[in-house]
Structure 1
Amino acid sequence: MSVRADAETLRGIPIFAECDPVHLQLIAFASERQQFKAGEALIVQGQAGTYSFLILNGDADLIVERNGHEDFLGTAGPGAFLGEVAMIGSVPYSVTARARTALSAARISRNLFMRVAEEYPDFGKAVFRALGGKLDGSISDLLSAQVLLDRAKSFTSL
């Protein structure tokens, strides 16, 4: 893929939708291409997040480990963006992404993202605004799920 094509793919990701295409081209140009064989992990749940990955080709299984068991969450394919929170903080990855097929990805480091955000504050503001909105939506979803769980518990006492 070309830098322009990678930048357009980034623009299709909600957190980058409002960013200047020139800034996305910088990110695409400076990102590192990485190849994964089927079965290799892109990110591992619990490890400190230092990179985000834009899947260019291939598919990855998304898995979460709970109580010693792996639960399959779904599959991420071309255009999926994994580990986005790793760009802004040293937060452990919340899932494992394992290549289902041979896979190529653009690896974006936190240092690269922060450098572009510092050099171009409008870029940083747009991404942080989008991440804030996504976080707000996630919190709202969790609160709704908690209400449903509380209601379900109240029926068990009948």
Structure 2
Amino acid sequence: MAGQAIQIGELARRTGCNIETIRYYEQIGLISAPLRRGRYRTYETRDVEQLSFVRRARELGFKLDEVRALLTLATDEAAACAEVRDLAAAHLHDVRARIADLRRMERVLADAVKACEAGQDPGCPLIQTLGAKAGGAGQDTISAAPWARP
């Protein structure tokens, strides 16, 4: 065994990962199953490095399948950097799309809050905005909540 054997609590402390998350990652095969000493899981330095890699990738918003692909590419000496770049570029595209969605959400919420503060509408503009039909032509406009009582 390379390095000092550590238990799951120490692995969690060193990586900043929750113990339940570590167990889940093991269960789905994202990280290697640990050696066992009796009823205790024991980990090595390479496990700390692998879990840290996974955690950083997750913090950057990579999905579990993308993290799995990155792990495979990271351990494959013959893997071309281009494959990693392509995966990252696709993820960057998704991140930018989410940012655009968040900006739209911000505008709708800001308009609703502004309308609430103005107090000119007979109903609550925020409730009306939340009740607007998704995907409709007036998606960013205020409309009555369909379940609201007349």
Structure 1 or 2, whichever has the larger Rg, is 2
The question of a shared fold, defined as TM-score above 0.5 by the shorter chain, is answered with no
Instruction: State the structure with bigger RCO (CA 8 A, min sep 6), 1 or 2.
Output: 1
Select the structure that is richer in helix.
2
Query: TM-score, normalising length from structure 1?
Result: 0.33
